[in-house]
Structure 1
Amino acid sequence: MQTSMEARIPAASKSSMLWKKLLRNRWLYFMVLPGLLYFLIFKYWPMYGIFIAFKDYQPFLGFWDSPFVGLKHFERFFNDSNFIVLFRNTLILAFYNIVFFFPLPIIIALMLNELRQEFLKRTFQTLIYIPHFMSWVVVVGIAYIFLTTENGIVNELLVRFGGQKINFLVSPDWFRTLVTAEVIWKETGWGTIIFLAALAGVDPQLYEAARMDGANRFRQLVHITLPAIRTTIVILLILRLGHFLDTGFEQIFLMLNAMNRDIGEVFDTYVYAVGISQGQYSFSTAVGLFKSVVGLILVVASNYLAKKFGEEGIY
């Protein structure tokens, strides 16, 4: 009935209603404007540059006059003997981040939510947020101070307790563990913000009703808290999969050395070493486009699966 009534409204009236609505909510749209401009200028406008992945880009010839080469750079990348090694290294580190890092902000947020003393809650939140504001240079520097064989705190403790020094920083066996541990230490606290916000929206009356029915804290967690933030968890997991192959350049680059390069070299560092340092801009763009396409496929597939299981998804 409402649809048929809307169909009878003249187009001019609809346009007038739209402008009135925009005018009434003008301050809300004004607040959205900075974020919209950010994405337009820094995210969408530079996307035209992906065309150089299909060209043999020469700076002196310019963007449009550089010769078109089609899929040449992609073929070179996929046929490169290093491709399998790079893909394996990137995939393993990405898998570590999903399995070990992604659940930790949820766990920490649940633990903080259980604290009843507001002072303790705020104190712990502040302490775990601080590492996020440190650069990767500082984080890797701290790891070096702790783990170096030359008076490193960890190795000194190992020797004091009867063990032997371990060269963590150059050992291939420890590389992935150290990278994942650094990510966990630096970003776990920051990742709890969204989950704490989701937990703040849970109706307290649900907990009161559960306590009256005899539910203990664990049952309240399982049957009220987790279902309440399940949608948030699914959405953030889908978004995280969109950056699945983005293992981070700066951290990996700082951790790499001649001894662990075979298992530490990933797409990001390879692009820098081969594409940027040697001026092969078209090739590096092709590698970046490949990562973006993989991320897009993972987002679409995971969103489809989420909807199949009854979740909202991201679209």
Structure 2
Amino acid sequence: MDGFSTRHDQATAGAADLIGREPEIQRLRRFVGRIAEGAGEALLLAGDPGVGKTSLLDQAAALAAGSGIRLLRATGSQFEADISYAALHQLLLPCLGEAPRLSPLLAGALNVALGLGEGAPPAQLLVASAVLALLQSAADQQPLLLVVDDLPWLDRASALVLGMVARRLTGLPVGLVAACRTGEPSFFDLGGLPVVYVNPLSEEAATELLTSRYPVMTPRVRRRPENRSPHPRPAGDDPARAAAAAGRGPGEPAGPAGTPRLPRHPGHHRRRDAARDAAPQPPAADRLRLPRPGAAPAGRRTVTSGRPGRYGRPTPRPGDRRRPGRREPAGC
């Protein structure tokens, strides 16, 4: 046990790289220590996307490697989610050399499931038994740690078999640590397995992390909430931020979809008004014939006197009670 402790202390020297994860790292240390003692079990890391589950899996792998434990890793893939036993093939590929030591029944079932032999598709219980026998055979020489990331993306067959295997590791020098998103459905059965919930970093840990990764970042920028959260709030969720990102004022309407908007200069409105006032104006008579926004379409006329009034607008006829600019059908 003294030799294991020495290797274990050396492996944990790099744990300081994970800031604010001391409780999770201590849990992983105890987990790896029990595997080395022959008391295998399964452990699940659950949390929101981007919270740091994969980094903790890497930490568990480093602890196991420093403790003389053999690693078998697999990661769920969206593009392999429809291929039966694809994740199991990725996980067991390094130790398939132990398959000839299994019984013909178990070896044949495992070969067919992994696409290494021909025959009828084996039952999942038979495949799970073959996987357990293979892991036990490989662990006779060296303890094993199975590291599985992105459980929701595992294919259905692999997820069901690994869920059965995870609940049958007691008494074996084999451990399984996996990561999944909180509340996301998966074919991997989590029932009865210990779960460590990975929470977001505290304010102090987030500040320390940003300072260590980006030492040139000013305190003002470091205090922004979007720089502390693993999932910044999209600009579209905040009208003010969306308008600022598009180069508009808070009350300005948005332009057409996909139209890039450049940030406006502070004197934009002043220059625009000055240019409008300096532009030559047509005579009043011509101004009356210019189309205005919302003008009556062809075939309709507006009841006015034709004389320009204030701001060049036509004035109503004397005694006409109808509103100026009211549209009437042609011929009325």
What band does the TM-score fall into relative to the shorter chain? under 0.3
Question: What's the TM-score, normalizing by structure 2?
Answer: 0.19
Question: What's the TM-score, normalizing by structure 1?
Answer: 0.20
> Higher relative CO (CA 8 A, sep ≥ 6), structure 1 or 2?
1
Which structure would you say has the larger Rg? 2
Going by fraction, where is helix more abundant, 1 or 2? 1
